[in-house]
Amino acid sequence: MDWKLFFATFGTIFVAELGDKTQLACILMAAKTEKPVTVFFATAAALVLVSLLGVAMASIICRYVPEEAMRKVAAVGFVGLGVLIWFDKL
């Protein structure tokens, strides 16, 4: 296992997920149902599945699309989302 990659990925995802809508939904669900263990396992399973789908799609896409093109598409996507958020359209 590439531990440098592991910790870089973990740190990036951990910081990115703090305070996002998924975490807020988990907090609300756990508070509403008063069953935090069930909410934890369901949330963990959902996040694992979403991550699996993301990695699977990336491995397929990377076979056909050059890395440089992917970087440019990602940059444009992030800028586009930033603009939409700036103007309260998202």
- Which residue do the tokens 């789908």 mark? 53
* pLDDT tens-place string over residues 54-87: 999 999 998 999 999 999 999 999 999 999 999 9
pTM for the model:
0.68
Residue written as tokens 């699977």? 56
Please give the DSSP secondary-structure letter assigned to residue 35. -
- Is residue 90 a contact partner of residue 81, using CB atoms and an 8 Å limit? yes
DSSP 23: H
The neighbour count for residue 49, using CB atoms within 10 Å, is 10
Structure token pair of residue 17: 């997920």
Residue 20 has a pLDDT of 84
pLDDT, tens only, 49-63: 999 999 999 999 989
Q: How far apart are CA 75 and CA 36, in angstroms?
A: 37
pLDDT digits over 8-34, tens only?
999 999 998 888 888 899 999 999 999
Q: Find where tokens 């963990």 sit.
A: 44
